[in-house]
Structure formats: structure tokens, C-alpha cells
A = this chain, B = another copy of it.
Amino acid sequence: MSQANIMDNEVDIVIGALHSDLTTFMNEWRPVFSRFHLIIVKDPDLSGEIQIPEGFNVDVYTRSDIDRVVGSSTSVLFSGYSCRYFGYLMSRKKYVISIDDDCIPAKDNEGSLVDIVAQHITNLTTPATPFFFNTLYDPYRKGADFVRGYPFSLREGVTCALSCGLWLNLADYDAPTQALKPELRNSRYVDAVLTVPVRAMLPLSGINIAFDRELVGPALIPALKLAGEGKFRWETMEDIWSGMCVKVISDHMGLGVKSGLPYVWRNERGNAIESLKKEWEGVKLMEEVVPFFQAVRLPQSAVTAEDCVVELAKTVKEQLGQSYPMFVRAAEAMVEWIKVWKAVRSG
């Protein structure tokens, strides 16, 4: 694995803490996380001291750190699941890996513990192939290659910017699906990684992701907050929105996005039927959001992720802002985020 070539000090693991007692979570992840630097960001709405077992190299950020760094008017961006974005902001490493605090390590088809860091880093450090589909999935994987007919000029691939992992047990379904199929659990471990083709949009789940912070860090943005957003994944949309921003920007910049391995094991929680009241708002919004991101094109003058976010925000405001005020707020949050991102970098 090319992961061997990555120095431990090139990786930050960012955990957004929506629960104050992280003892079990951290102990489960100890074999995977203990070599790396961790950034834990406590949800500013969460009361109680964060509990972390010993033996980790960790920085913990709380509401007072957020207020100090970004000011109290901006700090509202970082409530709930969005608290992790403060960790992205504070990271100085090339690669960021982020896992929800209700997940533990999964096992592969052979019963071995999945090392999500190794797999995400392999995904990020081997090329992506967005311009032509390889039917045998990741051509850079040991034992695989490009199939007959794959143009040689495209076999070099492009840099991978984002790696989207998956979930066993409780998959990332929306509240209506969970409510309709309360018994639905994902038990299929699909042993594959693939590049999502250029111009194809995907619903990024923030549960288990990794990205090249230097390339696309500014494009992961806590921008879209639902009015009734709560403390369950299926009540949020920030990651889906963020994911479409990153995909459009990666396509524009000639970077790749991969999906597939690694898996995490996701534990049960929450009452889907209770959440349905809030979730429908997010469900309705996707009908506007997806066609927008499928059609939007960025100007050639936008060459960095920061430029791209600012340009995207303009178009969001002009086009989506017409239908829902929430999108105007999202556009404003995107612009604000880039200001903060630059200020933190220059400070």
C-alpha cells in the first residue's frame, strides 16, 4: 500500500463530538488512530466535559476556541454536525480524515479489522480516473489494471481530492427510508473503490470521508443549515451540499473523487419517525439542488478552491436564492467561510 509512503505527520483525524463521552469510541479506534494526530471539536451545543481515554495525541476545541478564532457572529456555522468543519479549519496537515462519533471499525469479508486510515490514504495517493470508466473498478489496485479499450493517454489519471467511504449495519439512508424499512441494515461489503465520473453528481455522506486539505479543504463548507436541523445525520444536509460543491470544484480543477472502501460499522440511534417532521425539508430541497449542481459551470478564471467557492456562491445566490431564502444564507455562509479560511491561514 502506498500508505507506507505517507508520514504520520501528514494526516489529521478530525472528530466532531456530538456525544461528550468518547471513551468507547476512542478505545474501539485505538489500533487505527493511535499513530496519528487527532482534532476533536465539541459540538458547541453540547454540555458536559468531553471524556477521552489516555494515550492519544489530541487537540480538543470547544465553543470558546471557535468564538475566539472566527468571532461569535460566524461561530453559529459550527453547531451540531458542522462542528467538525472547525477542525478542518484548524488542521495544518495535507490530509484530513473524518469519522462520525457513532461509528466503530468494520471488518472485511475475511474478518480483519478495516484500517480506514490506510485505505483512505491509498485512495487519495493513487490517481483517480474521472474521464473514462474502468469496468474492473480501481485500476491501480494490486491485481487489477485498465481493461482493453481504455485509452493509454488517460491511464496516468489525475490527483484524487476526496475519498468517500461507506457504512455497514446502519447505512446512511434518509429518515423516510428508515421509517418505511425499519429493519433495513447494510450487510454487503463490496470490495471495491471507483472514481465517480466527471460531471456525475453523488450524495456525499460526511460519516466517513477523507480529503486532500491543501487542494480542496476550502470547498468543504458548513453552508446549508436546515431550519429544523437536529443531532441525527438524517436531519442534516450540510455534508450533501458540501459534497456537491467539492465534486463540481474537483471536476473544474481536473481532480478526482472516489467512492467505495473503506467501510465503518455504524451503530443504531435515533427515531426515524420522529425525524420525519424535519427531514422532509431536506428531501424537498434536493429536487432543486441536484439539477443546479449538474448544470453549474465555473469560469476559467477560478483556479483555486477558494476562487471556485466564491464563484459558486455567486451562482447559488442568483439561481437557487430565487426559490428559498435558505440558499441565500448558504451562499453567504460560503463567502464568509472563505474569508475565515484565508484569515486563519494568514494569521
Contact = CB atoms under 8 A, between A and B. Distances in A.
Contact of A135 (B132, B151, B164, B188): B164
Contacts of A199: 197, 199-200
A133 B287 contact: no
A109 interface: yes
Number of copies: 2
Nearest to A175: B148
B286 A136 contact: no
A36 B188 CA distance: 31
Nearest to A204: B149
A202 B136 contact: no
B187 A190 contact: no
Q: DSSP class of A's interface residues: helix, strand, loop or mixed?
A: loop
Interface residues on A, range: 35 or more
A255 B192 CA distance: 25
Contacts of A177: 145-146, 148
A237 B150 CA distance: 11
A173 to B, nearest CB: 6
Contact of A174 (B137, B149, B173, B197): B149
B132 A166 contact: no
Interface in A140-184: 143-154, 164, 166, 171-174, 177, 181, 184
A152 B287 contact: yes
Contacts of A188: 143-144, 191-192
A148 B173 contact: yes
A196 B137 CA distance: 12
Contact of A173 (B133, B145, B151, B153): B145
A233 interface: yes
* Most chain B C-beta atoms within 10 Å of own C-beta, residue among A177, A198, A282: A177
Contact of A202 (B135, B145, B185): B135
Greatest chain B CB density within 10 A among A109, A133, A154, A287 is at: A133
A307 to B, nearest CB: 26
A205 B136 CA distance: 11
7 contacts: A109-B109, A132-B200, A132-B202, A135-B205, A137-B190, A143-B185, A145-B181
Interface of A: 109, 131-137, 143-154, 164, 166, 171-174, 177, 181, 184-192, 194, 196-205, 233-234, 237, 240, 243, 259, 282-283, 286-287, 290, 294
